[in-house]
Structures are given as C-alpha cells and as structure tokens.
C-alpha cells in the first residue's frame, strides 16, 4: 500500500474503534476485574473488547499477513515482520470514572521495532500520531507539528506518572520518589494522555513501571517524532514494556536515569 493509503487505513482504525467505544463512555456498562482479587484493580469493559474487535477485523481484512498483539484478545502471528500492537482503551480506570484522560493506542512494529503510532481520543476529537521522524496533532483546533519542550534542568520539569502506588513499596517506588523530589511539579492519572502531552511540549517527564507492550509501543514513534526520547530505566528499548521513562529533552532523560538508578 502507498503512504496515503496507509494513513487513511490507520485513520479508519481510529474512527471505527472510536465509534465502537464512545457509546459506552459515561453510560451504564459492565466492568470486570482482570486482576481477579489481586491488590491492584485492573478493569476491563465491554467497550475495550468492542474497540479491539473492530480493529482486528479491519487489520485482518486489509493486511492478512500482519501479526496482531492486543490487550484484550492476545496475539496472532506475532512472528510476522509487521505486527500491530493495540490497546483499545488505555486508561480504563479514567474511562469508567467518566474522565476523558484515556485513548485508543494503535501501534505498528517492523521486525520488533516500533515504526508508527497513533493515539486517538474520540471524545475530545484529538489524534496524536508519528513515525519516529515526525509527529503531528489533529483536533478541534486544527493540525500542527508536535515538538517536545527543550528543558534540561530537572528542577524545572513537570513529571507525570499514572499512580505512585503502582510502583509498590520497594525499590521501584524509592527510585520514583527520588525523581519526584527533584522536579518542580508532579501530576497523576492521565495514562497515555500524559505521553501525548509530553510530545506536545506540556509535560517534560513520564515515569512508569510494569507496562505491557500495548501500553507504550504506539507512543514511542510519536514521542521520538516530536524530538523526545523513551527507554527503559536501563536505557534500553521500551518496545517490550517494563519500567519506562520518557523525556522531552535528552539532558533531562539522562538526569532522570541517574536518579532512577541511583
């Protein structure tokens, strides 16, 4: 397929999944706990499953040789050269609380390397997308190129994490606390929307732990295309998830790594 066709296809994935998900937002729907009694509540809804099912159907019809890795329905042909990595609702906790700080993550890897990503927020009508070389925004107020904020001093940085309690009470939490004490401002609870705000130049750092590939793959080309950097705490590829740190500036990333591994 040509570049134009590909762009249209990804837009269609976003549009169709959004149409499947939105009827459930701020409405009555069933919620299950995937953690099944574990300490951390890990919700899944009918909307999650409906959104992923639509995307899988479209991908299989247009790219039958591609693999798929999704949060709700697992993996198919994960050894394929191209693999779609899907999270229909990243931020389900916010979704069930009626908060618009969630998004649909659509990522594509080639040979295991993220090469394209899109975050769609259908309620606000915003899309953030990139290919590692450039990143863009489309929304109610028009379109623009995404660029991270160049801020190298960690004492002036804005930090985000989904919830400090997700780090547990051990060394991961201690490492995160070192970073939080060093920054100017920290905020919680936005899930994938925080990465979008980092790419847009509003947040400087995002630090997380225990992420799955479908939580981060789509945002890697967006952040990198906007001029940022995202790795594991060890400074390695974030494509497989794990403990993740994203920064809008290389100097800030290095400072955060030093504190995380202190």
Task: Decide if pLDDT at 202 tops 70.
Answer: yes
User: Across all residues in the chain, what is the average pLDDT?
Assistant: 93
Region 50-64: mean pLDDT is: 96
- Concatenate the DSSP letters of all residues of 200-240 into one string: TTS--EEEEEEE-HHHHTTHHHHHHHTT-EEEETTSS--TT
Task: Decide if pLDDT at 35 tops 60.
Answer: no
Domains 3-145 and 154-260 agree in fold: no
Residues of each annotated binding site for Mg(2+): 71, 87, 89-90, 215
Fold held by 154-260: D-Maltodextrin-Binding Protein; domain 2 (3.40.190)
Q: Where are the domains of the chain?
A: 3-145, 154-260
Phi, psi torsion values for 67, nearest 5 degrees: -90, 165
Say if pTM beats, i.e. exceeds, 0.75.
yes
Here the tokens at position 105 are 């993550």
Per-residue pLDDT tens digits for 140-167? 989 999 999 999 999 999 999 999 999 9
Per-residue pLDDT tens digits for 71-103? 999 999 999 999 999 999 999 999 999 999 999
Per-residue pLDDT tens digits for 102-139? 999 999 999 999 999 999 999 999 999 999 999 999 99
CA distance 29 to 35: 19
Query: Do β-strands 103-110 and 74-76 pair in parallel, antiparallel, or remain unpaired?
Result: unpaired
Query: Do β-strands 67-70 and 82-90 pair in parallel, antiparallel, or remain unpaired?
Result: parallel
Thinking of the domain 3-145, which architecture would CATH place it in?
Answer: 2-Layer Sandwich (3.30)
Residues of each annotated binding site: 71, 87, 89-90, 215
Region 238-256: mean pLDDT is: 98
Of residues 23 and 5, more confidently modeled? 23
């Amino acid at each position: 397929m040509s570049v134009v066709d590909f762009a249209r296809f990804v837009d269609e994935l976003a549009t169709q999944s959004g149409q499947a998900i939105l009827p459930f937002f701020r409405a009555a729907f069933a919620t299950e706990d995937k953690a099944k009694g574990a300490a951390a509540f890990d919700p899944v809804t009918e909307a999650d499953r409906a959104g992923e099912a639509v995307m899988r159907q479209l991908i299989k019809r247009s790219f039958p040789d591609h693999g798929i890795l999704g949060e709700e329905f697992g993996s198919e042909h994960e050894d394929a050269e191209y693999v779609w990595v899907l999270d229909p609702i990243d931020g389900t906790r916010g979704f069930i609380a009626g908060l618009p700080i969630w998004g649909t993550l659509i990522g594509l890897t080639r040979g295991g390397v993220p090469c394209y990503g899109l975050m769609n927020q259908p309620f606000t009508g915003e899309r953030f997308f990139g290919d590692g070389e450039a990143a863009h925004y489309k929304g109610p107020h028009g379109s623009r190129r995404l660029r991270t904020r160049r801020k190298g001093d960690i004492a002036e940085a804005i930090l985000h994490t989904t919830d400090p309690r997700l780090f547990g009470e051990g060394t991961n939490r201690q490492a995160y606390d070192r970073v939080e004490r060093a920054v100017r401002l920290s905020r919680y609870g936005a899930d994938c929307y925080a990465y979008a705000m980092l790419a847009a130049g509003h947040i400087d750092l995002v630090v997380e732990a225990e992420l799955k590939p479908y939580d981060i793959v789509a945002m890697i080309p967006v952040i990198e295309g906007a001029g940022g950097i995202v790795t594991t705490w060890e400074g390695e590829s974030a494509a497989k998830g794990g403990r993740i740190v994203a920064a809008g500036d290389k100097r800030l990333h290095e400072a955060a790594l030093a504190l995380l591994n202190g």
